[in-house]
Chain A
């Protein structure tokens, strides 16, 4: 039986197939044409094999305007740049937007300062004593100065005398001490990173474990001066401690129960601010909106920012790149695989700058197979790091032998990365009596293609010197329990802020640290002594020979097999003036005070 639509012309199955084929072919050609010109470079998933690795196409004609990390900031005088007292009008009210990274536990609670979105914005809303500049160095911000005595046992902090909160209250030493106590408090409902910021202050441990009702080493001298004793003495405390944590307005929390701090509305919306921008809105995992505080007290100390309306968008890299191409975003960090595509965008300028961090493999020396340093050296010789860098990392990065990567005065020119020499690697393994029948375990955390490719590269290169490696894949949720368990031999490590100061390497290699003692099983008393000496003075001339020896030891003992120093790539809207590339992907907006529309 036919339905009632006989008037509709029928077509045969053959005609249908022919028509469908034509349609499909047409659609396919259209798609291919549409996708061909600017399709992004694929993420490298294939495992490159030494020694004939083809170099990846990386020809970003970037403007490497930023120098490597400069010399360390030590004790500081105010860097105030006096500007006309009357604020100048911004050229336009057009909002500016930048992408900021998200991290696990992304949030805006100022007590939980930890992640990309906050690092990029909070210093502009709630000023810390210092803030990181585009080179990753700390500069005085809410503090007019912070000075360490020669022995490194006492730091004196002076606050900007004209500083005030946006509700008109003065910013005083009491705010600083109260904030420090919050960071040290055990009842704070937040990640552990916040508590580490006051670590090193004498009495912080006792305050944390409840045996003291205040941090004993901290003294308020007057409304704008604080002294803090350091335990142990550390002439570089102001460098190692990240003093960019926002100081909070104590008066907002007066009479608020300390164990209910998270319930104070201020924790969701810090509307009383101290910086050049006021908090407007935080859409969880979406964006942070800031508006310029036109009457900011700092206009006369620094300068008034020209951008009136700022958005920090929490975007993953592919979305950020699509948005910057479309003009919906003005500044973004660029992953290596997107570099070529971004370079072709007519509206965008590309920047490359050495980063403070590094990438490499770390050894679990709790396992007997890796306790002989000749085995670790052999693996270093077995990897063609230059070929890996080109093939897997799009040519980004700079060779480095150890985590002492800067400043320049700290670098021992005699310490160089080991060359690719598989024969020497085999000889070293033979000398060490390495049991070739055993299989090493590589801990692969997560499913990121880049991380996976580095694991496979390691596996293949070691296969060439007859060392078998199995990959053990776990989720990031069990990373730390796996570290604790230690049922593996090699892992991947990356990031950090090593190039800011050589003393920062101590946090990994000193034998009393969690990394060295709990996870790496690494212990070198001489290194401990050197790291202690390295922070006993702030004079680079005295410190340089100390860290030269540190580099020699690290290069000889190879607790980590370094691949390269990271390199940061940025894309900025060509209409944006005053943009400076930053050494850290988290510090998007570090030059926000200089931004202007061209």
Chain B
């Protein structure tokens, strides 16, 4: 198993390096740069001053190292990264690593909660839907899952805000905590419910559909008939025999959901003013804030690759055939 994990890590490393190179190149090819974003167009804040001279721009570009060839800039970035230095935000001056780490926590809180909602509800209802095929529950679950997949996240978010915050007054409109109030778990949970539910909605629906079809296929297998003919209880058949085999493809689906969740969180964080990487990223993109964007891209890529790795491991763990096959080879 250890060798298997090592093998997967070694495959992931060049992928990660490739991602950073592509990000770096495309980022610098995009029109505009941080220096032009620092220049005011409102002369009442200095347009007639040195700010708009070529000298000022050249000075700032040299100071930031933006005048060097792109490969040199990339190597310098990697060198600093190797020393644990993510740099400072060009647009705002803050140190990137602590800020990104802080935001990462918030984003993980949101995405992992959304993922947990997806897994519990998606798999749970999917299994129930499969064992109760063509029942009212099955049709209702199917209807809701299509609705959740079809409605865009931002619309669902606005709808939730309107209903639960402005009409029913049961949840706050946005934010991560009540400003000025005492910090408490219940306050944090209350603020987390809407964004996590919205972010997890489409994932829940997808998982529900996958689980249902996977379970239906397994429930039709001969060994399930055999188990049933032996007189095993229906509950035991579903839980012990069908579920474990039915859940195998679901592991892949879950791991593939993570990139989508990180992507989706960008919009959801904006709508709910959730202080995560998405909000930071959007701001950084508008500011052409290269160090921040690179740090966010790197961390997102690492998270996604880690999720894939975890999926591989989980797959091997759930299905002994995979690890035995690896061992025999």
Which of A105, A328, A475 has the most chain B CB within a 10 Å cutoff? A105
- Are B42's CB and A11's CB within 8 A? no
Chain A residues whose C-beta falls within 8 Å of the C-beta of B50 in the assembled complex: 192, 195, 199, 205, 208
Chain A residues whose C-beta falls within 8 Å of the C-beta of B228 in the assembled complex: 4
* B37, B42, B89, B132: the one within 8 Å of A104 (CB): B37
Nearest neighbor of B37 in chain A, beta-carbon distance: A104
Chain B residues whose C-beta falls within 8 Å of the C-beta of A112 in the assembled complex: 92-93
The answer to whether the Cβ of A479 comes within 8 Å of any Cβ in the partner chain is yes
The answer to whether the Cβ of A512 comes within 8 Å of any Cβ in the partner chain is yes
Chain B residues whose C-beta falls within 8 Å of the C-beta of A187 in the assembled complex: 63
Nearest neighbor of B55 in chain A, beta-carbon distance: A209
- Are A193's CB and B51's CB within 8 A? yes
* B91, B137, B166: the one within 8 Å of A326 (CB): B166
- Are B135's CB and A5's CB within 8 A? yes
The answer to whether the Cβ of B180 comes within 8 Å of any Cβ in the partner chain is yes
Chain A residues whose C-beta falls within 8 Å of the C-beta of B220 in the assembled complex: 1, 3
Nearest neighbor of B215 in chain A, beta-carbon distance: A3
Contact with B along A493-519 (1 / 0, CB 8 A): 001110000001001101011110010
- How distant is A186 from chain B, measured CB to nearest CB, in Å? 6
* A11, A186, A240, A513: the one within 8 Å of B47 (CB): A513
Count, A-B residue pairs, CB within 8 A = 208
The answer to whether the Cβ of A81 comes within 8 Å of any Cβ in the partner chain is no
- Given A35-B162, A104-B37, A513-B48, verify A192-B56 contact (CB < 8 Å): yes
The answer to whether the Cβ of A476 comes within 8 Å of any Cβ in the partner chain is yes
Chain A residues whose C-beta falls within 8 Å of the C-beta of B136 in the assembled complex: 9, 11
Size class of the A contact interface (CB-based, 8 Å): 35 or more
- Are B92's CB and A284's CB within 8 A? yes
Stretch at the interface among A83-91, A315-323, A369-377: A315-323
- Are A16's CB and B139's CB within 8 A? yes
- How distant is B130 from chain A, measured CB to nearest CB, in Å? 7
Chain A residues whose C-beta falls within 8 Å of the C-beta of B99 in the assembled complex: 284
Stretch at the interface among A271-279, A285-293, A387-395, A462-470: A285-293
- Are A3's CB and B40's CB within 8 A? no
- Are B37's CB and A195's CB within 8 A? no
The answer to whether the Cβ of B163 comes within 8 Å of any Cβ in the partner chain is yes
Instruction: Give Cα A315–Cα B255 distance, bound, in whole angstroms.
Output: 33
Chain A residues whose C-beta falls within 8 Å of the C-beta of B166 in the assembled complex: 322, 325-326
The answer to whether the Cβ of A42 comes within 8 Å of any Cβ in the partner chain is no
The answer to whether the Cβ of B300 comes within 8 Å of any Cβ in the partner chain is no
Contact with B along A373-415 (1 / 0, CB 8 A): 0000000000000000000000000000000000000000000
The answer to whether the Cβ of B38 comes within 8 Å of any Cβ in the partner chain is yes
List CB contacts (< 8 Å) of B81-134 with chain A: 88-89, 91-95, 99, 130-134
Instruction: Give Cα A402–Cα B56 distance, bound, in whole angstroms.
Output: 32
- Are A95's CB and B132's CB within 8 A? no
- How distant is B148 from chain A, measured CB to nearest CB, in Å? 13
The answer to whether the Cβ of A219 comes within 8 Å of any Cβ in the partner chain is no
Residues of chain B whose beta carbon lies under 8 Å from any beta carbon of chain A: 30-33, 36-52, 56, 59, 63, 88-89, 91-95, 99, 130-137, 139, 143, 159, 161-163, 165-167, 169, 172-175, 179-180, 216, 219-220, 225, 228, 234, 237-238, 270-271, 273, 275, 279-280, 283, 286-288
Q: List 14 A-B contacts (CB under 8 A).
A: A3-B130, A4-B219, A104-B91, A193-B40, A196-B40, A199-B46, A285-B275, A319-B174, A322-B173, A475-B31, A481-B32, A496-B44, A513-B47, A515-B43
